[in-house]
Amino acid sequence: MINVFLIDDSVLVRNSFKKILTGLSDIHILGEANNPVDAFTEFKKVGLPDVFILDIEMPKMDGLTFLRKINVQRPTPVIMCSTLVTKGSNALLEALSLGAFAIIAKPTVGVSSFINDYKEEVLEYIRTAAKAKVRFSSIVNKSPIVSDTKSFKHKPSAKFIAIGSSTGGVQVIEEVLTNLQRDHLPILIVQHMPIGFTNNFATRLNGLCENSNVIEAQEGDVLKTNRVYIAPGAKHMEVFKEGLYYVIRLKDFPKVDFHKPSITVFLTSISKVAKENATAFILTGMGVDGAAGLLKMRKMGSKTYCQNEQTSTVYGMPKAAVSAGAVISELSIFDITKTINGTR
């Protein structure tokens, strides 16, 4: 039985989740609270849950402060539910960096429409989160690096790194990128996240990374050293070769493997043009996105890896890649960073 605790100052929201979760044989609502301070009082009566559903903006204590406190006490999967989702909130990006499992948009009106639209997604998140390995990171406390202080050169590169990532990936990407050495190859990243978040994600990463300029990818970008390109939300990112250079193309067509941008689309495009010039990694995440594209890359001579089960929040996408025969080796986060730094 999966025990869930609801923390939200909206009765409408708590009732929406109760309508979704009540009566299920494998999920139990352990308790609810209007705010985190009252929740801590409830924990003394009922204990801690397997999964939290948590808002950001609440009286007495905000969701981020609660997330930090509970992670110190006992790291627990947290699904963030907030109206800030549609705004690409930096607070929600920080929540993902602190180890939040997933984020969904809070219902503002129409409980029935929320239940119809999000029921299956909510249930999948809860069931997967209950099995997840939550990692607490304090990297968000690092002082931002001003872009003007980064004095390295960017030059077109004949080789590059490709990364596909989903649930739990924000923490891994931050850890990898903040440990990159100077003069690294171009790095392209498809990270599954809601529309509106990717530009803020790139800006945030740029402020954390000493040896990289991190940008949201744009149509026609030429791949250059010391740059990291984040695929924009709601667009597929592909790589083409034009003359001597590799360039980014952004495409608008339906989801593939349930995602847009799709890692499979991304890696498949690379398999057609880069061969041994590309090295690819599949990181933590739910589902199978990326496995088919990674296999195509391996067949064309690229080096292909995935994050190992021990360090993955969710060993879904890596497992799918391994099962497809797409992976040369499974690596820890430390070894992923070491491999990228050693690739020239």
Give catalytic residue positions.
Answer: 166, 192, 289
* Partners of 216 in beta bridges: 230
* Partners of 4 in beta bridges: 29, 51
Instruction: Specify whether the CB–CB gap between 248 and 279 falls below 8 A.
Output: no
For residue 99, the number of C-alpha atoms closer than 13 Å in the C-beta half-sphere is 27
DSSP string over 2-67:
EEEEEE-S-HHHHHHHHHHHTT-SSEEEEEEESSHHHHHHHHHHH---SEEEE-SS-SSS-HHHHH
Distance CA 31, CA 39 (A): 8
Instruction: Specify whether the CB–CB gap between 80 and 92 falls below 8 A.
Output: yes
Distance CA 192, CA 96 (A): 12
- Measured from the Cβ of residue 150, the count of other Cβ atoms closer than 10 Å reads 15
Q: Is the sign of the CA dihedral 251, 257, 260, 264 positive or negative?
A: negative
